Amino acid sequence: MSESQPEASRVVLDEEEIARALMRMAHQILEANRGAEGLVLIGIPTRGVVLAERLAKAMSEVEGASIPTGALDITLYRDDLRRNPTRAVGHTAIPVSIDDAVVVLVDDVLFSGRTVRAALDALGDLGRPRAVRLAVLVDRGHRQLPIRADHVGKNLPTAANERVSVRLAETDGVNEVTIARGPEKTADGAAVAGRQGGEER
């Protein structure tokens, strides 16, 4: 295998482990909020929306109450938009007012933190929550901004040129998190072209 070719991926979370991680996160969110009152879960497309829906289902089974769940498109808020201006605009759907709510942003992989910053900017244009928290299935480190997740399914130390991919049954037909070594990146991460397959920029 040449150095330019990516290595075969290995599974770091299987279906059962993902389910356990989400259930643990659901309990943590409820405990931090002292119940479900005022909570709104908002997923960052695509897989963050799926994870938000799964968390909401798990929380409703615990609390016996429905948790509002929505989606927040961040396309026009990304700081790399000028480098790649041709992007399909996604869909934002917030079912309730977020004013004075406790909003939990949900994403699949936390990496540089730039996606989360874009989400915070987008959220600020929609209302004024009482608090904003962050829940991610995987935190792989390598932050470029002072952003920290409040609820993490798995902390996964990685090398900068490794690729973490989240696949979910609703979008990919399988539930797993994999890691693989990819091509070497430049100092500014130029070898990565946007969010693909659960990889956070």
Condensed to tens digits (0 to 9), the pLDDT of residues 12-48 reads 999 999 999 999 999 999 999 999 999 999 999 999 9
Q: What is residue 38's DSSP assignment? A: T
Range of the domain at 103: 15-158
Give a yes or no: residue 6 inside a domain: no
Mean pLDDT of 150-163: 95
148-162 burial, b for 16+ CB within 10 Å, e for fewer?
Answer: ebbbbbbebebeeeb
pLDDT score, position 78 = 82
Residue 69 within any structural domain of the chain: yes
Query: Is the pLDDT confidence value at 56 over 50?
Result: yes
| CATH code of the domain in which 21 resides | 3.40.50.2020
Is 104 strand, coil or helix? strand
Give CA–CA dist 79/26, Å, rounded. 31
The sheet that has 162-167: what strands, in order across it? 10-13, 176-181, 162-167
Residue 171 lies in a domain: no
pLDDT at 194: 37
For residue 5, tell me if it sits in a domain: no
Residue in this structure with the two tokens 């026009």, named with its chain if needed: 76
Pairing mode, strands 69-71 and 176-181: unpaired
Q: Which two tokens stand for residue 81?
A: 């938009």
Structure-token pair, residue 125: 């244009």
Any domain includes 76? yes
Residue reference for tokens 């799926």: 50
Whole-model pTM: value is: 0.86
Does 106 map to a domain? yes
Domain count, the chain: 1
* Confidence bin at 89 (pLDDT 50/70/90): low
Q: Is residue 201 part of a domain?
A: no
Asked whether residue 139 is assigned to any structural domain, the reply reads yes
